[in-house]
Structure 1
Amino acid sequence: MGVSVMRTMAVVGTGLIGTSIGLAVSRHGIKVHLLDQDEVAARTAAALGAGVVGPSDQQVDLAVIAVPPSAIGGVLAEMQARGLARSYTDVASVKAQLAREVTPSSYVGGHPLAGGERGGPLAARADLFEDRAWVLTPSESTSQDAVNRVLEMIALCGAVPVIMGGRAHDDAVALTSHAPHLVASLMAARLQHGSRESFRLAGQELCDVTRMAVRDTGLWSDILRANAPAVAGVLRELRDDLTTLLTTLDDLSGEPQDNRSRSLEPMVDLLNRGAAGLAAIQGWQGPDRQAHLEVPVPERPGQLVRLLDALKEFQVEPEDVVPRYSAEEGTFSVMFAVPAMRAGQIVLRLGHAGWNAESVDPVAGTPCSA
């Protein structure tokens, strides 16, 4: 990108997100000051290259408050009283409550839609935010200067800004993040009662379902308390579906074999709705839709395997690839979806590796602009 108008930043809180922000912007020449009550965490982040430990002698351009939601109001007030920065933002995953507590014009609420299974500075990565949505929730009193500085930081991190209202944001993350974490924890909790014999049969399905189970219970208790109404709404709808499913399974357990087809209808309806929901989210990734690419594959041993290995770099797994064959042209190819914002880059990189990829209409299979 062009020459930055921002020169200095402060990151308050050097966990996964705060340290990753420091790593991302430091590589663009921004001087980052790292502040944390945990001196070991701050020094670890500095040793990784995320910035320097301690506040600046002069007011920095932007301060990022990367602490748990319940602490943001107090930390922000303290940093403003110290005159730490010209503008401020945060990274909390709950926004509506903060909007009621924090109203200065120099502040704009923020939430990067990125994270990891592990926390702490050692899990941080400079590319953590690349191509990920970063929500901003400015209020009517937020100054344009504050918004512009946060937008510049988002650009330096390689993320995509999304402007939303605080309530709309909280409803969205309740459905797409907070409730899924709870469901994963509920399933993981069942494993306490499992036997060693049952664990020997654990496969990818169990890993997929429990991968998001909450590990940092302190942080997640804070998040769920702040977004309790929205999360409760999602879980009530899930409870209703579970009640229907349980009723159907109980009926199946007690009915003669020849009557079971009738009782399957509610369960089949639920499975169909699940498939439809999965299709909906697969067609929409972050703030941008997906593009579909098609790559011709020579029908020689090893060529398809070589392409599948290359696609893993772009997070395209073998099960995401659809084989196609044109009897008219006698050609074999594969089609797969990628984030539309990265499609052009992926086409170029595949081209450098010797693959002729092009964007296509997924229905007609015809070329279209990427």
Structure 2
Amino acid sequence: MSALFTPHSLGPLTLRNRIMVSPMCQYSAEEGSATDWHMIHLGQLALSGAGLLVIEATAVEAIGRITLGDLGLYSDDNEAALARVLAAIRRHSHIPVALQLGHAGRKASSHAPWDGGQCLAPNEGAWQTVASSALPHAPGEPVPLALDAAGLARIKAAFARAAQRAVALGIDAIELHGAHGYLLHEFLSPIANQRADAYGGSLENRMRFPLEVFDAVRAVVPERIPVGVRVSGTDWVEGGWDIEQTVAFGRALAARGCAFIDASSGGVSPLQKIPLGPGYQVALAERIKAEVGLPTIAVGLITEPKQAEAIVAEGRADMVALGRAILFEPHWPWRAAAELGGQVEAPPQYWRSQPRELKALFGDARIGMR
């Protein structure tokens, strides 16, 4: 039996298989609200056969968007637009849907990647960014405003309110974005955090605000909905955030009821030196799984079914998350099931696409219907 196609639980949520569609920014929202693009994009991924679909990084306040096109969940209009997309998914797929909540911090107020990704100019709609400390992400970029007590309280409340909106939408799981150099990661990393108060300096202090945000979200989300965290296991910069600190953070999260950890890396500094290669971040997930004990998700250049199968079968991670690979091949889980002897759920409109030699691929699908 394929390990990749066995069920798995993230807290109270049981998934049909170990494949997750990663949250992938589309930079296609309008004033934070989902558009027809999200209907098309998320709709096709909802039919992918994966065990879990995670909606892209969703800002908890307007200034927490990376770009003007980022998805948000800070207004009634945002909530209504996303409700429309989710309703369509629910009509045609049983896939559980999670939502990643985040705040871009000092990496906000930027152009979309296909427009260069650089910071917005004042005449392009730029806004004042915020961060753990008044340090720009890169030389020459605008200096963010270091958050004071009122700012910290505002953002914690924004995370909690966005989580409540997610619950009202019927979201099945929530992932907090604590990676990639965005605000929560900016508090964790000594590269970005040079505060001299209770939120800076020691590891305990640097973890304080992200843990407070987790607590604020967990407090307003029913126990039936798992809350997990995406982390950067390392900054890939000497003297920065590393796997040992990530393990300590993971243990603190576990003690607070965290349901899973999604293990990525990097993003806090342009000085990072990332050793790119197939599965280059899997060792981070493996270390977190072994030393923290929470369900752990591996992500990063996982592109082939046998590669994904080995990661799960060898116990290096509990699940694998696909990003670019599933954008390129939206039915990647179908191919994986065909290669590994697994089964996937497919809509009845597609049942007749099943090759005759793989007649069990779609489970009880009735082939050859007139």
Regarding TM over 0.5, the answer is: no
Which of 1 and 2 has greater Rg? 1
Structure 1 length normalisation: TM-score? 0.28
- 1 or 2 for the larger relative contact order (CA 8 Å, sep ≥6)? 2
Task: Kindly indicate which of the two structures has a greater share of residues assigned to strand.
Answer: 1
TM-score normalised to structure 2 length:
0.28
